[in-house]
Structure 1
Amino acid sequence: MSSASTDRVATPPPAELTSYVGRRDEGADVRRLLGKARLVTLSGPGGVGKTRLAWRVVRDVARAFPDGVVFVELAEVRDGALAANLVADRLGLHDRSGLSPMRQVLDHLRNRALLLVLDNCEHLIDACAEFVAAVLTDCPKIVVLATSRQSFAVAGEHVLPVPPLPVADAVRLFRERAAAAWPEAADGASVSEETLTELCDRLDGLPLAIELAAARIRSLSPCQILDRLTSRLTLLTSGLRTGPERHKTLRATIDWSHDLCSPSEQSVWARLSVFVGSFDLEAAQQVCAYDGIGEESVLELIEGLLDKSVLIRRQQTDGVRFQMLESLREYGQERLDQAGDRGRVSRLHRDWMARLVEQADDEWVSGRQPYWIERLGHDHANLRAALSWSVSEPDEAGAALRMAVRPIEYWLLRGLAGEAGTWLDRALAATPEEHPDRARALCASALHTLWQGNQEKMARLVSQAESLAEKNADEPSWARAMHVRSFAAMLAIRPESVDLAAATCAAFRALGETRAELHPLFIHGVSVAYRDRDLDAARRSLQRMSELTGADGESFYRAMSLFGQAMVEVAFGDVAVAAEAATEALRLDLRVGNQQGIAYRTDALAWVADRQGDHVRAATLFGIAATRWERIGLAPEFAASLPHAKHTAAARAAIGDTRFDRAFDAGRAMPADEAVNYALGEPARKPDGVTEKKLTTRETEIAKLVAKGLTNRDIAARLVISQRTVDSHVEHILAKLGFGNRTQIAAWVAGHGR
């Protein structure tokens, strides 16, 4: 069992919405290769079905990888430098102080045994090859399955070409897709097998081409499709002189599908190709509505593209979104370039994202905060694309300055301080010194840099911001710079944090910037308690912070104020109040997925348990928190140095190294859902139909020995019974508790041993 098995990664591919046809032999080949090779690349032209084959194989082999499967769609990034960022994001990792995204991923994967699926690598082939080579070298238990039109040419790579479908499967695919569109159109009684065989042969057995052709069944018979396709292919075979025949066929098929669209649908197809990943109707209207296409007609045109299989409909919790297959998106971008419209559409796309993040920023401290966290997560690939275009176009980098700081809490909550800092650095390098947004961007960049632990760079950025603020009499920027300095002083446990935070709060209050005052209030409340033991002043600051967050659903700062209260009370006040505050803060963070907050609150609950004398629970919670700290790339010794060190040492001294380490390891090994329930003090939820039964005295005794790390043979020797008897008892324990492995037994013992 690997170290990560209890925090099993699960980022499966999308659910299969249509039947899976053929590929039985190819699937068996891939599974066989994955059993002996560490890098398997599915190669072939666009539209041949590489991704769909990878999806199916992942479903078949997922159980063979103790730490799960991570499925990374690389089509959403165009910059090879961001490939490692995207992998880190899919792994749920956050920026680690001083480490590049690649190093962070390698450190995380080094002792794990999982399947890493990299989909659509061809446009980032050099960056992907470098990344994969590093993973294979540094992470001996990782297996990589990739799809790419080009191989990596990396040592140890096994390339498996994905061929077109054989005729029988191609005909079956056409029949099934055509029947879904028009049930009577392609049944065996009305359509000859010869016609469909010739049609699929003309399409070279490419699944994408077949599905595009089948989508026309409502307006054309198979014979008419064949006649039209034959003539179009004759006209368009010179489109790609150096490409393989099947590639020419795919282009001809897409050309033909494009020709069947109305002129307005063609225009919308091209304009929508600017989106990376998915988009919603409102975004499409903002980008597509010009030159004869009104906002009111965009929905109808999108419905037409959905009907023609150009777009895919995605149902999300916040509404319906749309997505374009990558090959169709590339085709649309070619048409956009041919029309000379790329710059205009890219600017409209950027302006849409700029308005989106501005609205999110305006509504952040409100009941709309959970919506914006989810919404910006869905559009993060589009945000990256908009930032990339802005920093690469002359005179557009100022927009990137504004976008990358709004809302700053989103970047922190997602653990993307490093990425935000990179965008800000690029934008700052491309904007003139006199740009009005420069000082604010410098302060934001300094804050992100501070989270990464680079004090020297942080100080340099703050000094630049202060110089600009003084030169321009810019009071808000001066206050922001002071905010960063107060936070840096707090993290370094310097006494000036109290006075700096108080001055920052006063400055923002005078400016009427309520939201900007929230974090400085937290800094002041905690700092004044630890420096001066002034509980009244600490409570006043944290109470004001809580009141300013409002009562309409804001979670980010509300949880932070509760955490501040827990920090103060567990150290100098009422431990029961601290327990209640930390628990409620954890619930709020879980609601919005604030991984950084979850780590802090779990650690705080460990402090509470130690203060209450429940040292085994404290050690277990420290173990649970350790997994969270590792995932977000922060060390608790940096993020919460004083209370963490104090209570860790106290709990260890109270129960001894052996018991502490055993409970700590059990916490680290606890499955994520069970760990959450344990931290909240709630009973573990069992799967439907599974109930936890009471263990016998002998089973309890054996469970405790399992928790100590003894093997069944060791336990048999210790208890002077046969190993077969121990095997039977362990099986009964697993069945009664509804567990699947010994590590879960250890975690259960840690939680019930009290």
Structure 2
Amino acid sequence: MWAMRRTAGEAEARRRALTSYVGRTDDEREVRRLLGLGRLVTLTGAGGVGKTRLAAQVASSLTRVFPDGVAVAELGELRDERLVARAVADSLGLHDTAGRRDLDAVVAYLRPRRSLLFLDNCEHLLEGSAGLVAALLRDCPNLAVLATSRCSLGLDGEHLLAIQPLPVPSGEVGTPQEALTFDAVRLFTERATSLLPSFEVTESNVASVVRLCRRLDGLPLAIELAAARVRVLSPSQIADLVEQGSGVLVTGLRLPVERHRTLRATFEWSHSLCTADERAAWACCSVFAGHFDLAAAEAVCGRPGNEVLDAVAGLVDKSVLIRVDGVDKVRYRMLRLLREFGGRLLAETGDEPAVAGRHRDHYAELIERAAGAWFGPGQDEAFERMTAAHADVREALSWSLRTPGEGVAALTMATAMIEYWVARGAAWEVRDWIDRALDVVPPAAPGRARGLAISSLCAALHADLRLARERLAAAEAIEDDEAAPYVAHARAFVVMLSAEPDSSVHAATAVRIFGERGDVRRQMHPLFIQGVALAYRGELSGARELLGSMLRQCQAAGEDRYRSMALFGLGVAEVCFGGDVDEGERAIRAALEIDLRASDVLSAAYRVDGLAWVSARRGEWTRAAGLFGTAATLWDRCGAEPGVAVSTAHREFREATQKALGDDKFDAAFEEGRQRSPHDALSGTSARRDDGADGVLPPLTPRESEIARLVAAGMSNREIAARLVIARRTVETHLQHISNKLDFANRTQLAIWVENRARTRPR
């Protein structure tokens, strides 16, 4: 089962908005009614009216209605139609697989499931969003879609619900109690109180609060921006300033209706209250697509660090930036409408190219630093830094591709660390970035041959051997010495997958040249290819020596992902090519332990599949069938299947197991294995996976209940992710939903709640 998912930063950025949700009871009821009538409901309305908040509230309440889960795909940070399907695949945790586009993978995953997809902020990617939704609704009969957009998706069967601003008093209000019956006043009061606990609506200020909410037309975002000023201004002063600034509309923001003009006026008023440094930072920080840290803000602003720190602090205080607390540092996020406003201000200054260039350079440097740390103990941190910056890496690549003369920079960024994209399950995406960069760089551009070779490698990863050979031939024709090891690496992989001779020779060439250049990280995959190729040729001792060398280098460096690959290679050599099956099992188990700690579901699927081969080699047919079932659950969880690297071994051992048991016994053991945790494969137990532990804790879902119990047991998010074999950001998203449902602010409250429920549960 999967449930609502966002990146950790997105979930935290939404926290404040969701923990004090105001009003919309009738709207919630109507959204649920429309979802009962049709499979596509789109919430439309002005920017800042609260579409996202309402949709999230409804979606989080429907996990029982949609037993296979509610997924959230946030499109607001995208600026490229081509990435819409990839965003949905990311929200489902899907890895790309050979021969399947992102859309194909999403359809294959959702087709058998009764689930809800919440697609947020579609209007700027309308064609891509509409095309995706049409395909999903056509091919996934049990799927429902809840979308937010400033306009209709224009699809047959679409139910539209126009979301209106919060109710405001239509005339004079006599008492605070009467005023607080209106949702707009209540929202202002709650936001103001969160910033200034002593604030309250009184007889003396109620008229000013009502006047302000009426002037802001009940728009939630405008009300929140105004409430952010209560620490320094009274409601009367805020209302006066809003009215005085309402005619100063110089931003060029194209919003056609009166309420949009009201929102634009509110932005302009907020902007007028900023210092000069804060205004400059607002404009510069509008280039960020996702959340960012202080170092990134300093880079794009191009100002001394202390000035940027003060400006960022001021923008947080004014609610222009949202603070996002991370494990080791604070990050910031700008709501999309405020980002659009800042972007137009930046364009008016003429500084947009320079700021966007600094943004690109910052993320190019971040990629280089992550690449430098990948082969070592900082690998997990590098992966998390890249994951947190993914939206802005995409934006930096996109800007470089659409800006004349910047294609080489895009090519360098895209080819710098393919390991990150593969680990993220987005090899298709990086292949697309590389190919688009190759299309715009000149034939004699530096790095072109290397880019072609890496593009060939990506095509081979997806079993597109025809394209892989074309790219490889083009790379070899350039005769670039700098690209020589990349070409040899790609050639080795293509030859191995084609079952042709000499793959070990090409791999050895890549290993040698990368070694001469001191590039140990890039030696690893060619070493793996060389070792497995030697085993295939019957040279088991040579395979053991090479893969053992790879393993020792990884251990010495404190590296995990390639260490898991080396161990798996040793296991494959022993199990599949006549070696010591016990040694093979130990190696595959050790690899699986690494993958489970890292919550690497795709790699874990390969390792559990490998343990099934071990059991088949021993004639333990029932256990082998169960392990194939456990692996199948993992393949299914990440939307993948046994790929090009192990397809032959998987097929042969599975067919042997099925033949030995017969279809009925195989199917029974396979289905039982599907219910087991991959941790059982390590322990050798056959206990069924118990996702619900001691049962569901209403109002939580089974998965939320399980995570709540693990929190109560004192486990960290990383430990929970490893235990359940899910991504850590998925754990964080589940915890956010638990917080929303129970209105808890911290883990201690949740642990106490779980313990109390355990004590009071009937025996």
**What range describes the TM-score normalised by the shorter chain of this pair?**
0.7 to 0.9
- 1:207-286 matched pairs, under 5 angstroms: 207-236=220-249, 243-286=256-299
User: Which amino acid in the other structure matches residue 651 of structure 2?
Assistant: A
Identify which of 179, 185, 196 aligns with 1:182: 196
The 3-state SS of whatever aligns with 1:75 is coil
* Contact 1:318/1:371, CA 8 A, preserved across alignment: no
Distance in 2 separating the partners of 1:171 and 1:73: 29
Distance in 2 separating the partners of 1:466 and 1:493: 21
Report the counterpart of residue 36 of structure 2 in structure 1. Answer: 35
The 3-state SS of whatever aligns with 1:313 is strand
Report the counterpart of residue 601 of structure 1 in structure 2. Answer: 607
1:411 to 1:89, Cα distance in 2 relative to 1, 3 A: same
The 3-state SS of whatever aligns with 1:77 is coil
CA RMSD of aligned residues (A): 2.2
Distance in 2 separating the partners of 1:564 and 1:237: 63
Identify which of 389, 406, 413 aligns with 2:416: 406
Superposition deviation, residue 441 in structure 1: 0.9
Identify which of 547, 554, 561 aligns with 2:552: 547
- 1:584-733 matched pairs, under 5 angstroms: 584-630=590-636, 635-636=641-642, 638-668=644-674, 670=675, 674-678=677-681, 681=684, 690=694
Distance in 2 separating the partners of 1:659 and 1:259: 74
Superposition deviation, residue 680 in structure 1: 5.4
The 3-state SS of whatever aligns with 1:322 is strand
User: Which amino acid in the other structure matches residue 2 of structure 2?
Assistant: R
Identify which of 567, 570, 578 aligns with 2:572: 567
Superposition deviation, residue 498 in structure 1: 2.9
Q: How many residues align?
A: 674
Distance in 1 separating the partners of 2:254 and 2:678: 58
- 1:248-647 matched pairs, under 5 angstroms: 248-289=261-302, 293-469=303-479, 472=480, 474=481, 476-532=482-538, 534-571=539-576, 572-630=578-636, 635-636=641-642, 638-647=644-653
1:251 to 1:543, Cα distance in 2 relative to 1, 3 A: same
The 3-state SS of whatever aligns with 2:64 is helix
1:180 to 1:503, Cα distance in 2 relative to 1, 3 A: closer
* Contact 1:96/1:632, CA 8 A, preserved across alignment: no
* Contact 2:492/2:506, CA 8 A, preserved across alignment: yes
The 3-state SS of whatever aligns with 1:638 is coil
Superposition deviation, residue 592 in structure 1: 3.1
The 3-state SS of whatever aligns with 1:444 is helix
The 3-state SS of whatever aligns with 2:224 is helix
Superposition deviation, residue 659 in structure 1: 1.1
Report the counterpart of residue 171 of structure 1 in structure 2. Answer: 185
TM-score, normalisation: structure 2? 0.85
Superposition deviation, residue 653 in structure 1: 2.4
* Contact 1:41/1:157, CA 8 A, preserved across alignment: yes
User: Which amino acid in the other structure matches residue 11 of structure 1?
Assistant: R
* Contact 2:68/2:114, CA 8 A, preserved across alignment: yes
Superposition deviation, residue 511 in structure 1: 4.2
* Contact 1:38/1:143, CA 8 A, preserved across alignment: yes
Distance in 1 separating the partners of 2:253 and 2:281: 25
* Contact 1:185/1:218, CA 8 A, preserved across alignment: no
1:286-317 deviation line (CA, Å, top 9, x unaligned): 1113xxx3122212211111110001111233
Distance in 1 separating the partners of 2:684 and 2:473: 46
Superposition deviation, residue 224 in structure 1: 1.1
Distance in 2 separating the partners of 1:369 and 1:81: 29
* Contact 1:121/1:128, CA 8 A, preserved across alignment: yes
1:506-554 deviation line (CA, Å, top 9, x unaligned): 343344432222212211222212212x222111001110122243531
Report the counterpart of residue 93 of structure 1 in structure 2. Answer: 94
Distance in 2 separating the partners of 1:625 and 1:688: 21
User: Which amino acid in the other structure matches residue 147 of structure 1?
Assistant: T
1:353 to 1:666, Cα distance in 2 relative to 1, 3 A: same
* Contact 2:251/2:345, CA 8 A, preserved across alignment: no
1:259-290 deviation line (CA, Å, top 9, x unaligned): 1110100000110110111111111111113x
Report the counterpart of residue 752 of structure 2 in structure 1. Answer: none
1:200 to 1:262, Cα distance in 2 relative to 1, 3 A: same
1:315 to 1:676, Cα distance in 2 relative to 1, 3 A: farther
2:35 is aligned with 1:26: no
* Contact 2:73/2:118, CA 8 A, preserved across alignment: yes
1:248-268 deviation line (CA, Å, top 9, x unaligned): 110101110111110100000
1:58-81 deviation line (CA, Å, top 9, x unaligned): 121122112101101101111112
The 3-state SS of whatever aligns with 1:639 is coil
* Contact 1:40/1:160, CA 8 A, preserved across alignment: yes
1:709-751 deviation line (CA, Å, top 9, x unaligned): xxxxxxxxxxxxxxxxxxxxxxxxxxxxxxxxxxxxxxxxxxx
Distance in 1 separating the partners of 2:209 and 2:508: 78
1:230-264 deviation line (CA, Å, top 9, x unaligned): 22224449977871111111010111011111010
1:134-171 deviation line (CA, Å, top 9, x unaligned): 11111111100001110111111110111111121111
The 3-state SS of whatever aligns with 1:112 is coil
Distance in 2 separating the partners of 1:101 and 1:218: 48
User: Which amino acid in the other structure matches residue 353 of structure 2?
Assistant: G
Distance in 1 separating the partners of 2:370 and 2:549: 24
Superposition deviation, residue 206 in structure 1: 0.6
1:356-407 deviation line (CA, Å, top 9, x unaligned): 0011111110101111111111111111100011111111110111100121
Distance in 2 separating the partners of 1:123 and 1:390: 20
* Contact 1:373/1:592, CA 8 A, preserved across alignment: no
The 3-state SS of whatever aligns with 2:42 is strand
Q: Which moved more, 1:547-556 or 1:148-157?
A: 547-556
Superposition deviation, residue 413 in structure 1: 1.3
Identity %: 46
Bigger Cα Rg = 1
Q: Which moved more, 1:221-230 or 1:649-658?
A: 649-658
TM-score, normalisation: structure 1? 0.86
Distance in 1 separating the partners of 2:470 and 2:693: 60
* Contact 2:122/2:147, CA 8 A, preserved across alignment: yes
Q: Which moved more, 1:224-233 or 1:353-362?
A: 224-233
Q: Which moved more, 1:647-656 or 1:409-418?
A: 647-656
Distance in 1 separating the partners of 2:269 and 2:664: 71
Distance in 2 separating the partners of 1:587 and 1:466: 40
User: Which amino acid in the other structure matches residue 187 of structure 2?
Assistant: L
Provide structure 1 residue ranges, at least 5 long, that are not aligned to the other structure. Answer: 1-6, 693-754
The 3-state SS of whatever aligns with 2:159 is strand
Distance in 1 separating the partners of 2:623 and 2:37: 42
* Contact 1:373/1:410, CA 8 A, preserved across alignment: yes
Report the counterpart of residue 201 of structure 1 in structure 2. Answer: 214
Distance in 2 separating the partners of 1:582 and 1:316: 34
Higher relative contact order (CA 8 A, sep 6+): 2
2:54 is aligned with 1:50: no
Q: Which moved more, 1:543-552 or 1:443-452?
A: 543-552
Distance in 2 separating the partners of 1:480 and 1:238: 49
Provide structure 2 residue ranges, at least 5 long, that are not aligned to the other structure. Answer: 169-181, 697-763
* Contact 1:678/1:684, CA 8 A, preserved across alignment: no
* Contact 1:94/1:416, CA 8 A, preserved across alignment: yes
